[in-house]
Amino acid sequence: MMLTLEIKERGNGSSEELRTQGLVPAVFYGPKEASTPIVIDSQKLERVWKEAGETTIVKLTGAGEAKDTLIHDIQVHPVTGKVLHADFYVIEKGKKVTLKVPLEFVGSAPAEKLGGIAVKTLHEVEIEVAPAELPHHIDVDMAALETVGAHITASEIKLPPSATLITAADEIVVSIVEFKEEKEEAPGELKTAEIIGEKKPEEGEAADEGDKKE
């Protein structure tokens, strides 16, 4: 899947002035590309970003030769959620790209019906892959987890044909653990020294009491 985004070379004007015009200041760069400031229509950028994330190729057009890129970084306003700035990484033609791809857990584990609990310890894996086969996400089939103690490692995940796993092969992605119900502790009985109204006398106090009785 590839998305297209029209860009314009950035002229004069502050970032704030550009944003009031409905534009987002941005930049693209890469191994063979100098860092180039650009501007993008804010609504179009937000729409593409929501669909592409950081794992889908975005073709930038409108400023010289079209460039295949990945959204490398997005700065968002902490209150309004509006995009303030965007970085695009230009993919070098004929070269693989290295990036982290989110995992999507598919189906349910048979072991969960037997009382086990699925513990997901990894939510993305790093791979090197040809741009044409770059996945938006990678599926993890939960059906393979049939018993308590079963697990899936990074090496067992199905990757695109051109992909090489960068994450450690023995890294556990998801495992089934036994469900243990925590027993609530019964309210403990008050210790002798904690009984309301009774105070355990110290040794000195006991001696004083004895002197008074004499």
- CA–CA gap between residue 47 and residue 4 (Å, rounded): 11
pLDDT value for 176? 95
Q: What residue spans in the chain does CATH classification 2.170.120.20 cover?
A: 97-178
- CA–CA gap between residue 157 and residue 155 (Å, rounded): 6
Q: Are 177 and 145 in contact (CB under 8 A)?
A: no
Model confidence pLDDT, tens digit, residues 118-145: 999 999 999 999 988 999 899 999 999 9
Q: Are 152 and 173 in contact (CB under 8 A)?
A: yes
- CA–CA gap between residue 44 and residue 6 (Å, rounded): 9
Mean pLDDT of 35-44: 93
Model confidence pLDDT, tens digit, residues 67-102: 999 999 999 989 888 899 999 999 998 899 999 999
Is the pLDDT assigned to residue 196 strictly greater than 70? Answer: no
Among 113, 103, 108, residue whose Cα is nearest residue 139: 103
pLDDT bin (cut points 50, 70, 90) of residue 195 is very low
pLDDT value for 194? 47
- CA–CA gap between residue 44 and residue 27 (Å, rounded): 16
Q: What residue spans in the chain does CATH classification 2.40.240.10 cover?
A: 2-90
Fold of 97-178: RNA Polymerase Alpha Subunit; Chain A, domain 2 (2.170.120)
> Which CATH superfamily includes the segment(s) 2-90?
Ribosomal Protein L25; Chain P (2.40.240.10)
- CA–CA gap between residue 171 and residue 169 (Å, rounded): 6
